[in-house]
């Protein structure tokens, strides 16, 4: 027997959320862990995006042109990232953030492994820029990135307020890169 859905029971807000979820494009699933490409309403993840990049106007510069992926474990959102095409067979990881209550559980590593495999073949290099924060730089090094170059005064020139991490003001942007052509 066909089950009847009482559509009046779904609020407009819930109905929009359902439409967003249906539009998300499933990339990987083992029944528990899922990675979805987010195709509409990327701003619904703004809270997480702001963890990695605290000025919304800077996020706006790459969010729409970027490809966004979200990692769910047992249907709970854990980590998101945004990747942009920078030309010359290079993609850049512009933003990656794990919900603070689920950090240090390996979700960031899993999402980086996924995007490394996803873009390998079509692109040669995965770039990432970060502030001079030892923990974050270590995270990228542990995930196969190596120091590439720095952009002097990037944070002081481009952000409308001083950005601090672990009590230290960020000044230069440090770029690290990973070759995708030899992946894995
Ligand atoms: C960086 C980040 C995405 C890592 O995600 P994650 O799911 O915790 O990643 P993993 O569990 O795979 O790896 C954890 C490693 O990240 C490193 N790390 C980087 N920043 C960290 C932080 N703020 N707190 C704790 N660990 C951090 C640690 O070296 C840790 O290694 P360990 O477990 O051996 O101690 C996550 O810490 C985060 O969302 N930070 C805030 C946003 C951010 O700074 N993004 C990067 C912007 S360039």
The confidence score (pLDDT) of residue 105 equals 98
* pLDDT at residue 184 in the model: 53
Q: Say yes or no: CB of residue 103 within 6 Å of ligand 1.
A: yes
Please report, for the chain, how many H helices and E strands are present, in that order.
6, 10
Position 156 scores a pLDDT of 96
Q: Residue 24 C-alpha to ligand 1 middle, in angstroms?
A: 25
Query: Which regions in the chain score pLDDT beneath 70?
Result: 1-8, 182-184
Nearest CA, atom 25, ligand 1: 104
Nearest by Cα to 61 from 86, 24, 90: 86
Q: Is 129 in the pocket of ligand 1 (CB under 6 A)?
A: no
CA distance 15 to 103: 30
Task: Determine the residue of 104, 107, 175 to mutate for testing ligand 1's pocket, defined as the one with the most ligand atoms within 8 A of the Cβ atom.
Answer: 104
Q: Ligand 1: which atom is nearest the Cα of residue 110?
A: 12
Topology classification of domain 14-179: Aminopeptidase (3.40.630)
Q: pTM for the whole thing?
A: 0.91
pLDDT at 1: 46
* Residue 20 CB partners (closer than 8 Å, separation 6+): 40, 41, 44
Q: How far is the CA of 68 from the centre of ligand 1 (A)?
A: 18
Instruction: Provide the residue ranges of all domains of the chain, joining segments of one domain with +.
Output: 14-179
Q: Under a CB-based contact definition with an 8 Å cutoff, are residues 177 and 125 in contact?
A: yes
pLDDT of the residue at 16: 83
Task: State whether the beta carbon of 107 lies less than 6 angstroms from ligand 1.
Answer: yes
Distance between CA atoms of 158 and 130, rounded to whole angstroms?
Answer: 14
Could you read off the pLDDT of 8-61 as tens digits, one per residue? 577 878 888 878 877 888 999 998 999 999 999 999 999 999 999 999 999 999
Q: Whose CA is nearest to atom 17 of ligand 1?
A: 139
């Amino acid at each position: 027997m066909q089950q009847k859905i009482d559509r009046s029971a779904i609020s407009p807000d819930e109905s929009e959320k359902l439409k967003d979820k249906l539009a998300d494009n499933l990339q990987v699933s083992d029944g528990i862990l899922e990675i979805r490409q987010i195709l509409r309403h990327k701003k619904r993840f703004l809270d997480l995006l702001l963890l990695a990049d605290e000025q919304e106007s800077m996020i706006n510069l790459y969010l729409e042109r970027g490809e966004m992926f979200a990692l769910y474990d047992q249907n709970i959102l854990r980590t998101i990232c945004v990747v942009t095409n920078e030309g010359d067979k290079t993609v850049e990881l512009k933003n990656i953030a794990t919900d603070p209550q689920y950090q240090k559980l390996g979700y960031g590593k899993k999402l980086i492994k996924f995007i490394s495999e996803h873009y390998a073949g079509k692109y040669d290099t995965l770039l990432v820029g970060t502030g001079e924060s030892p923990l974050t730089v270590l995270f990228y090094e542990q995930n196969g990135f190596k120091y590439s170059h720095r952009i002097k005064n990037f944070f002081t020139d481009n952000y409308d307020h001083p950005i601090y991490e672990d009590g230290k003001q960020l000044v230069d942007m440090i770029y690290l890169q990973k070759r995708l052509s030899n992946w894995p």
